[in-house]
């Protein structure tokens, strides 16, 4: 290659390298701009979510629940709690997703249970019975469970609210005396009432239970039962007979100072 051709080739390469540097610089600028845009978009989403949370007021929502209870439910006769009358048609007038009612003597837990057939399973974690977004949400179940409470394991969720509403009073079962003296949970359905006896109130890890156990398999049911009974962080009554046929009702709520754990109150059906 002669000197002239060498110089021309060198200049072309230099020019090409310069263009490449310019292109890379433009790409970096655009990427940075995109990152800023994404950051701003994410912040905007967070702001919108925060604003939406303000649409529900926990205190006013509790007042609405109390009013609903007065309108649709007769007072519980402590001597005959199995035959409490719930006007489900009236409750469903407020929200058609109401399908059951839960009452735990000795606590403030006296609420409708909801399940949405169309919204994501976690919808009622952050939506009130009037479908307002925000706390305290509702007491609810996921579509993994049928609404007749005939599944081997039925899991009911609710928030641990600071004002003592929703499932906050489940933490009363941390006290041994309360655990011993308040063993029953009642689930009211349109056609019958179910009575459950508490056998374990424990702190559990925050794994997604429905995703970690196939509760329709007796071996997985037994594995879950064994884990509940073997817990040392809570109270367990080994004298309560729990079988695949009597099933397990698990009430799940948060533990304020332990975000990686859940407080579970577990009961089995009594005929």
- Residues known to be catalytic: 159, 254
d(CA 167, CA 169): 5
- Among 196, 211, 205, CA closest to 264: 205
d(CA 209, CA 141): 13
Enter the tokens of residue 25: 């610089």
CA dihedral 263, 170, 94, 96 (to 10 degrees): 50
Query: Half-sphere exposure of 24 toward its Cβ, with a 13 Å CA cutoff?
Result: 6
Can you say whether residue 131 is alpha, beta or left, with left for phi > 0 and alpha for psi between -120 and 50 degrees? left
The residues that bridge with 166 in the sheet, in sequence order, are: 160
203 Cβ neighbours under 8 A, 6+ residues apart: 231, 233, 234, 255, 258, 261, 262, 263, 264
Angle at 215 between CA 240 and CA 159, to 5 degrees: 75
């Amino acid at each position: 290659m002669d000197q002239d051709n060498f110089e021309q080739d060198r200049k072309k390469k230099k020019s090409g390298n310069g263009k490449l540097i310019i292109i890379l610089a433009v790409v970096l600028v655009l990427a940075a701009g995109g990152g800023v845009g994404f950051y701003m978009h994410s912040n905007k989403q967070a702001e919108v979510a925060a604003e939406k949370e303000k649409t529900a007021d926990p205190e006013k929502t509790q007042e609405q629940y109390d009013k609903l209870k007065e309108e649709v439910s007769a007072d519980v006769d402590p001597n005959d709690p199995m035959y409490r009358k719930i006007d489900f048609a009236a409750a469903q007038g407020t929200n058609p997703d109401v399908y059951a009612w839960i009452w735990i003597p000795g606590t403030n837990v006296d609420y409708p249970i909801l399940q949405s057939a169309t919204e994501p399973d976690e919808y009622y974690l952050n939506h009130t019975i009037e479908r307002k977004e925000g706390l305290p949400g509702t007491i609810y179940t996921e579509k993994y469970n049928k609404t007749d409470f005939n599944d081997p394991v039925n899991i009911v969720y609710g928030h641990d609210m600071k004002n003592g509403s929703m499932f906050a009073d489940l933490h009363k079962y941390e006290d041994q005396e309360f655990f011993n003296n308040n063993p029953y949970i009642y689930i009211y359905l349109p056609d019958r009432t179910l009575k459950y006896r508490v056998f374990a109130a424990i702190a559990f890890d925050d794994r997604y239970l429905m995703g970690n156990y196939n509760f329709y398999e007796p071996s997985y049911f037994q594995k879950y039962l064994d884990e509940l009974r073997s817990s040392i962080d809570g109270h367990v009554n080994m004298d309560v007979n729990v079988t695949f046929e009597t099933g397990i009702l698990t009430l799940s709520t948060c533990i304020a100072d332990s975000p990686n754990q859940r407080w579970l109150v577990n009961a089995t059906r009594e005929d």
